Amino acid sequence: MINQPIDNDRKPITSQLFDATPLLGDAEALRAQAAADGYLFLRGFLERDDVLQLRQEILQIVANDGLLNPQYPLMAGITDPEQIHRYSEEEISWIGSGIPQYLYYEVQKLECFHALAHHPKLIKLYESLFGETPFVHPRNISRVMLPHRKQKATPSHQDFLHIQGAENTWTCWMPVGDIPRKLGGLAILKSSFKEGLLGVTQAPGAGGLESILCGMDYEWQTTDYEAGDILTFHSHTVHKSTANQMENHIRISCDYRYQPISSPIEPGSLQPHGPYSWDDLYKGWNRSDLQHYWVNNAMEHTAFDESIRWQKDKIC
């Protein structure tokens, strides 16, 4: 009998994310933990109220479109299924945002959404991780995942496929509100970044690409997330979302990205996430320091390599 290679994508989630919060005062220990696992999970890293303020503003945009059930408090994020399903699968899967383009535009215009990426605690964290000044990518991403019957979970993937530039770029995934496991939070394939860049195959869900995990044997980890937690990981660390099993509940998260300022960047990371212009998004903002802050940085630019995204057959 021929043993078939393991498909690591099909292995169950078996353990809890390691909480690295006790290491925050020791930069060397923090870097060692990041080098071992390819991620850092920090429970209650930000003030809960700072994150919930963003949640309120995003949910108000959703509510203004009639998508929330008015019988429940706004912050509960409970949707009206009849209103949700007036949208097509194409509309709610647009660039992986979970909502139609015109609503995502309103989210991208939120000053507090972009400002949170520059929180002093986050800057200090990445200074410790990189050992130098971090650069905050302006292309911030929000996932406002409506509980639509056609909504797809994000497949197993590595962020480098989509952002490129510096390999030592780290994503900060932030739950915008509490995300228990049943709501479909993020799962990490512990230490998978050590495999380097993997081949990909076509898959449904945000990004449209699935990393091929045949023959690997790493451990999937997740947790019950709370507002204020952050999960940050290397651009080669494999991760995925899990299915939302909470009927009519919306799931909101943000992706912020950071890299050493001395490393190269792919110019697309300096553009908005979506077909927008910065000057349009900035209208009505109060903080000028958040606007075009990268223009005078003499960072090296690298070209986007489409060849690493060429899709292969997944044979396990």
How far apart, in Å, are the Cα atoms of 266 and each of 156, 169, 221, 307?
A: 23, 11, 30, 15
Residues sharing a CB contact under 8 Å with residue 176, sequence separation 6 or more, in sequence order: 51, 54, 55, 58, 142, 227, 252, 253, 254
Q: For residue range 119-135, list pLDDT tens digits in order.
A: 999 999 999 999 999 99
For 136-188, the pLDDT digits (tens) are 999 999 999 999 999 999 999 999 999 999 999 999 999 999 999 999 999 99
Residue 205 has a pLDDT of 86
Average pLDDT over residues 70-84: 97
Coarse DSSP helix, strand, coil percentages of the chain, rounded to the nearest 5 percent: 30, 20, 45
Question: CA dist 139 to 120, 179, 202, 255, Å?
Answer: 18, 23, 24, 9
pLDDT at 4 exceeding the cut of 90 = no
Say if residues 165 and 265 touch (Cβ distance below 8 Å).
yes
Quick check: 2 pLDDT over 80? Answer: no
Which of residues 233 and 6 earns the better pLDDT score? Answer: 233
Cα–Cα distance measured from residue 217 to residue 8, given in angstroms and rounded to the nearest whole number: 6
The stretch 202-229 carries a mean pLDDT of 94
Residues in the chain: 316
Mean pLDDT of the chain: 96
Over residues 107-112, mean pLDDT: 98
Query: Is 271 a residue whose pLDDT tops 90?
Result: yes
For residue 1, what pLDDT is reported? Answer: 45
Mean pLDDT of 253-280: 98
Q: Please, which pLDDT band fits residue 3 given cuts at 50, 70 and 90? A: low
* Per-residue pLDDT tens over the stretch 22-41: 999 999 999 999 999 999 99
The pLDDT of residue 207 is 83
pLDDT of residue 79: 98
SS3 assignment, position 3:
coil
pLDDT at 310 over 60: yes
Mean pLDDT, range 62-82, rounded to an integer: 98
Amino acid at 148: H
H/E element, 35: helix 27-37
pLDDT of 54 higher than 50: yes
